[in-house]
Amino acid sequence: MGSCSSCIGFRGRSMRRGSAMNRSGQKKNLLKRMDKCVGVCTHFQSRDNGWKVENLLPLIQAAGIKIVRQEIHWHQVEKKKGIYKIPEVYQEWVDKASDAGLGIIMLLCYGNPIYENPLDPSAFAKYAKFMAGKLKDRNIIAYEIWNEPTNFRFYEQYGGSWSGKSPSLWRDKFCELLAMSAKDIREEDAETPIITNTGEPQFFNMIENEAGSFKHVDGVSHHPYPVIFPPETIPYGGGRISSQDGVSVADDDHSFISLFEMTRRYAEEHLKRGFKTYATEFGFSTFDHSRHPGWPAGYRQEAQAAYIVRSLVLAFAAGVQSPCIYDFMDDGTDRYNGEHNFGLIMNEKRDYEKKQSYHAVRRLIGFLGDSWTHLEKPPANLIVERTNPKPALFWQAPAQEPFLRIRSPQAFWFDKGDSILAFVWMGGRIGGEFNDPLGKIIWERPPRIMPVEIRNLVTGEKLPVKLSPPVRSGQFGERIILDEIPVGGAPIAIRWKYDR
């Protein structure tokens, strides 16, 4: 089993040395700081496919990314019944990521063919307990029990309704495994959050019918892939889908934010306690879907960059902890394969070339950092004036997609203590054929604050700060009017600085 000699933990401090009290304090500090950081999904065990940890960690750190989410497979750890050993290729990336100060969402998953039942809940729980005991002094910020049970093993083996509405044998069996493994993890590690990825309607049906299985579970992770939509819209919500799934998991606008708000509300109602929400996978592939259209759409690099940044801002505004982009590097080089092209950078065979999304995420993190508070009540108003074509020009009216209801200007605000950040864009598809409409931000009776920087997060272009004088005196003379802000598909970051 691989091990490190220096054992450097969060911010250069060892989490293996010193008293239990010191290690506990370091873990609490680690967990607190990572809640507001950006993560990426990785596959470091696949070295032959370009996932070389020594090459990729510097690129991850250079982007300001602080979290990796990855699995260590059960069947690789327990190759003989009752004998557990983390293979060196896995231990190496855990140690290197921890030594670099990154947080790790540790995914525990999938079956083991050495058992008559590859999904044996008792056997899985013992593997999970071993993993927690072995890794609790590393930079684990969450143990994630399983990944997409309807796509991996449970639904296929046991059957039942896909959404988990009753009757659903796979749901019952999954909840049995969840309860046993969460209990065993908690016995080994009292501090690190335990989360699970169940699926979106599946979670709602589980929490309604199997709430006791979540006794030792601290949160749930969703995978809010928009599939073919812009990031504000997810393929849930509305009467027809809710009827099909047996539960409503989003509002009638199919909004990203409502999924997480409704998740926490539903969990707190059934569990009678607070419940964390994560997004441990979401992304946009840059493949060419013209030959093989299917589940995901293929996006231009510019669109991928805009949509990933918008997703991250939406996630933080929705109260999501440690959102993780899928994934950091392209898994292959086939331009017609969707799974090969989700990365922020290209595959090793293409020299890890950075996509536009890599730079856009780096710019966003440069603005946000890891210390901020989302402002639910906007301190100022974004105004974008748009006029519909005259009735005689009805033929100029753009076609509307009935499922795509969020097409209005979006603005999200964050307080960083010494400054205020605003992120603005036009909801809906990125477009690109026409000029972006210009908007203005009006701040009534502002504090001693002024806009000092405006930047397009996709292109990196620094935009001019244009202030318009108020047209009236009195209380209206106290307002700040920031004018000529392009409000299109690319998110614009605006930094306001206090004059203190």
pLDDT for residue 115: 98
Q: In what order do the strands lie in the sheet with 409-415?
A: 373-375, 409-415, 419-426, 492-498, 449-456, 462-463
Residue 433 burial (C-beta neighbours within 10 Å; 0-12, 13-18, 19+)? exposed
The H or E element spanning position 368 is helix 356-368
CA dihedral 307, 308, 313, 315 (to 10 degrees): 110
Averaged pLDDT score across all residues of the chain = 93
Residue in the block written with tokens 């969020």: 406
How far apart, in whole angstroms, are the C-alpha atoms of residue 378 and residue 317? Answer: 12
- pLDDT over 70, % of the chain: 94
Give me the mean pLDDT over the 230-238 stretch: 94
Tens-digit pLDDT profile for residues 240-259: 888 888 899 999 999 999 99
- Asked whether the predicted pLDDT for residue 180 surpasses 90, the reply is yes
- pLDDT over 90, % of the chain: 83
pLDDT for residue 7: 33
CA angle 192, 197, 203 (to 5 degrees): 115
Sign of the Cα torsion 397, 490, 411, 37 reads positive
Tens-digit pLDDT profile for residues 271-322: 999 999 999 999 999 999 988 877 789 999 999 999 999 999 999 999 999 9
Which of 127-136, 190-199, 237-246, 270-279 comes out lowest in average pLDDT? 237-246
pLDDT for residue 110: 96
Tens-digit pLDDT profile for residues 434-457: 999 999 999 999 999 999 999 999
Does residue 69 or residue 238 have the better pLDDT?
A: 69
- Asked whether the predicted pLDDT for residue 483 surpasses 60, the reply is yes
- Asked whether the predicted pLDDT for residue 477 surpasses 90, the reply is no
Give me the mean pLDDT over the 361-370 stretch: 97
Q: In what order do the strands lie in the sheet with 219-222?
A: 276-279, 219-222, 194-197, 140-145, 103-109, 67-73, 39-41, 324-325
Alpha carbons within 13 A on the beta-carbon side of 449: 25
Q: How many CB atoms lie within 10 A of CB 243?
A: 10
How far apart, in whole angstroms, are the C-alpha atoms of residue 46 and residue 492? Answer: 36
pLDDT for residue 13: 38
Does residue 4 or residue 162 have the better pLDDT?
A: 162
- Asked whether the predicted pLDDT for residue 420 surpasses 80, the reply is yes
How far apart, in whole angstroms, are the C-alpha atoms of residue 485 and residue 463? Answer: 8
Q: Side chain identity at 246, as an amino acid letter?
A: G
CA-closest candidate to residue 316, choices 146, 91, 75, 491: 491
Domains belonging to the chain, first-starting first, are 10-370 (3.20.20.80), 374-498 (2.60.40)
- 3-class DSSP state of 107: strand
The H or E element spanning position 105 is strand 103-109
Tens-digit pLDDT profile for residues 4-36: 333 333 334 345 545 566 767 788 888 888 999
- Do 337 and 287 meet the contact criterion of CB atoms below 8 Å apart? yes
Q: How many CB atoms lie within 10 A of CB 151?
A: 11
- Do 129 and 184 meet the contact criterion of CB atoms below 8 Å apart? yes
